[in-house]
A = this chain, B = another copy of it.
Amino acid sequence: MNPSLSKGALSEAQEDYLKQILLLSSGGVGNLEPAMVSTQELADRIEVKPASVTGMLKKLAELGLVEYEAYKGVRLTEAGYRVALEVLRHHRLIEAYLCQALGYGWEEVHAEAERLEHHISEAFEARIAEWLGHPSYDPHGDPIPSARLELPAAAPSRRLTALQNGESGQVVRVATQDQDALNLLAQLGIRPGVGLEMLTLGPLAEGARVRVEQQRYLLPTYLAQMIWVTPVGGQDAG
């Protein structure tokens, strides 16, 4: 357990590993309860070879940021969890700021935030949080850890694919970072806050037919699973 973990101590790569361990261990992108993350999963996410992941995990374990067991997987320690939340907070505040202050589209902000998250000061973080009014969710509907690194309670929601045919809901979260998917949704006007009606959910390869405003679209099932909604009215066109 290295004592010198005050700040700026970690490299960009190390911060990214910790962030991805957090995201992968909390069931995809959702709420969190420590699950083991495999070398392979991390390698896929970070786009690096598994051998490189092994090396990094050993280093992070030495620093007391993860518990790593060869062939078993890795889990964040309390210290590692805090670092990961800090990075996540930076990322999501930046996304929110870019949208609200600089007019970025919500589908455009991920890449920019991905780079900036490692290079802003605590002062900058505080100023944009202040400017934004200390938001709890970013433009994708992802929860933003508070300054004290607590995650806001998530409103109850279901995947779009869990809606019955004819059921309606309001989008609360778009849990993908797939740029093509985000572009598609942005183009269709499907974003957090928008109302949606599930028309029919076909077989995996067909997809989900939905209504947005006055339009009907056929979305890939994979994508429909990434859209989280709060069920609102029932069958308004069943």
Contacts and interface: CB of A to CB of B under 8 A. Distances in A.
Interface of A: 98, 101-104, 108, 111-112, 115-116, 118-121, 123-124, 127-128, 131
A12 to B, nearest CB: 10
Contacts of A108: 123
Contacts of A104: 123, 127
Contact of A101 (B101, B103, B118, B119): B101
A125 to B, nearest CB: 11
B115 A127 contact: no
Contacts of A124: 98, 102, 112
**Best-buried of A102, A104, A112 by chain B (most CB within 10 Å):** A102
B120 A116 contact: yes
15 contacts: A98-B124, A101-B101, A102-B128, A103-B127, A104-B123, A112-B120, A112-B121, A112-B123, A112-B124, A115-B121, A116-B116, A116-B119, A116-B120, A118-B119, A119-B119
Contacts of A112: 120-121, 123-124
The 9 lowest CB-CB distance pairs between A and B, nearest first, are: A102-B127, A115-B119, A119-B119, A112-B121, A116-B119, A112-B124, A102-B131, A103-B127, A101-B101
A119 B12 CA distance: 12
Nearest to A12: B119
A97 B121 CA distance: 15
A13 to B, nearest CB: 14
Given A101-B101, A103-B127, A104-B123, 18 more contacts: A98-B124, A102-B124, A102-B127, A102-B128, A102-B131, A104-B127, A108-B123, A111-B121, A112-B120, A112-B121, A112-B123, A112-B124, A115-B119, A115-B120, A116-B116, A116-B119, A116-B120, A119-B119
